[in-house]
Amino acid sequence: MKPFVPQLVYIEPRALEYPLGRELKEKFENMGLEIRETTSHNQVRGIPGDNELQQYRNAKSTLVVGVRKTLKFDTSKPSAEYAIPLATGCMGHCHYCYLQTTLGSKPYIRTYVNLDEIFEQAEKYMEERKPEITRFEAACTSDIVGIDHLTHSLKKAIEYFGESEHGQLRFVTKFHHVDHLLDAKHNGKTRFRFSINSRYVIKNFEPGTSSFDERLEAARKVAGAGYPLGFIVAPIYRHEGWEEGYRELFERLHQSLDGVNLEDITFELIQHRFTKPAKRVIMKRYPKTKLEMDEEQRKYKWGRYGIGKYVYQTDEAKELENTIRESIQTFFPKAEIQYFT
């Protein structure tokens, strides 16, 4: 999988008041990309495409360089205290992705150049909680690693938290373009996680992302660079033969990490869920998807903003959790399983 290159770039004029905004403009000009000006991302107009579906696909390869105005961070339980907003949107095409609905009609990728203001805000949250450690999740609204070879804002965040006394950074990715992050001065304050799944899930539901082997090669590099390493298994999905599919996943993972220190590895486990609005959007954007979303088969769980989600029935979820915990304990007896949700 090649590193992401946008087909079209929009730049907000205010972004040029920041060094990173100017740097990116020059970089994209040198790369020969089409650059347009837009007053704000809400005014992004003219993404090419004859119909909604084409526009959606093109939007996913459009990058908007802008200024983050809302500096109030969302919470990010259970993986961290706060979501740090470095970017939104993603060029991947995972059918189940929750960004389908959270980004609604604006699926283009936005990167923010006012990093110092974002870091200042993070500092305030750390001050409020100290001496407790405050964890910041950088991949709540995008797959930040997938675009960072262009922007290096994640690298700056890693180095920022590397210096901090009470802050830690974490993010998860399905991309393997990590080389520029290997020499970042992380000081062990950043947990680098990779998203992994059974062959069935990766093959059927994760187009436009790096392969399992590429992710694992990147994981080895990252561990070699001294980063604390983790894996998120999400969404855990009951496909035909899932028991064997997930057992094989951990076996392959174990083989691939030969030579890596497995003492400080973490796992986070998230079962598949969907909301009614997400289902509607997914069926429109990926009409041939094999993703099973039958409300009748699932358990309804009340959610934020009155939008409930459909998770597996309690006994099915328990079965998933037990099977996966067992596999992890077999292949990674020293790893920490942080949660199943």
Contacts with ligand SF4 by CB under 6 A lie at 90, 92, 94, 97, 99, 143, 174, 209
* CA dist., res. 65 & res. 180, Å (int): 20
* CA dist., res. 223 & res. 263, Å (int): 11
Q: Are 225 and 262 in contact (CB under 8 A)?
A: no
258, amino acid identity: D
Residue ranges in the chain assigned as alpha helix (H): 19-30, 52-59, 99-102, 115-129, 144-151, 153-163, 199-205, 212-224, 242-256, 276-285, 314-331
* CA dist., res. 117 & res. 113, Å (int): 9
C-beta closer to ligand SF4: residue 94 or 122: 94
* CA dist., res. 247 & res. 238, Å (int): 13
Least Cβ distance, residue 99 to ligand SF4 (angstroms): 5
C-beta closer to ligand SF4: residue 11 or 90: 90
C-beta closer to ligand SF4: residue 11 or 99: 99
Least Cβ distance, residue 193 to ligand SF4 (angstroms): 12
Least Cβ distance, residue 92 to ligand SF4 (angstroms): 3
Least Cβ distance, residue 56 to ligand SF4 (angstroms): 12
* CA dist., res. 312 & res. 321, Å (int): 11
Least Cβ distance, residue 98 to ligand SF4 (angstroms): 7
For 213, counting Cβ atoms within 10 Å of its Cβ (0-12 exposed, 13-18 middle, 19+ buried), the class is exposed
Least Cβ distance, residue 123 to ligand SF4 (angstroms): 27
Question: What are 111's strand-pairing partners?
Answer: 65, 87
Q: Tell me the CA distances in angstroms from 316 to 11, 237, 291, one per residue in order.
A: 47, 10, 17
C-beta closer to ligand SF4: residue 94 or 335: 94
Least Cβ distance, residue 299 to ligand SF4 (angstroms): 23
C-beta closer to ligand SF4: residue 97 or 233: 97
Least Cβ distance, residue 333 to ligand SF4 (angstroms): 29
C-beta closer to ligand SF4: residue 90 or 169: 90
Q: Dihedrals φ, ψ of 279, to 5°?
A: -60, -45
C-beta closer to ligand SF4: residue 64 or 126: 64
Both tokens assigned to 255: 């083989």
CB atoms near residue 242 (< 10 Å): 18
C-beta closer to ligand SF4: residue 143 or 268: 143
Q: Tell me the CA distances in angstroms from 266 to 143, 229, 251, 337, 338, one per residue in order.
A: 19, 7, 16, 6, 7
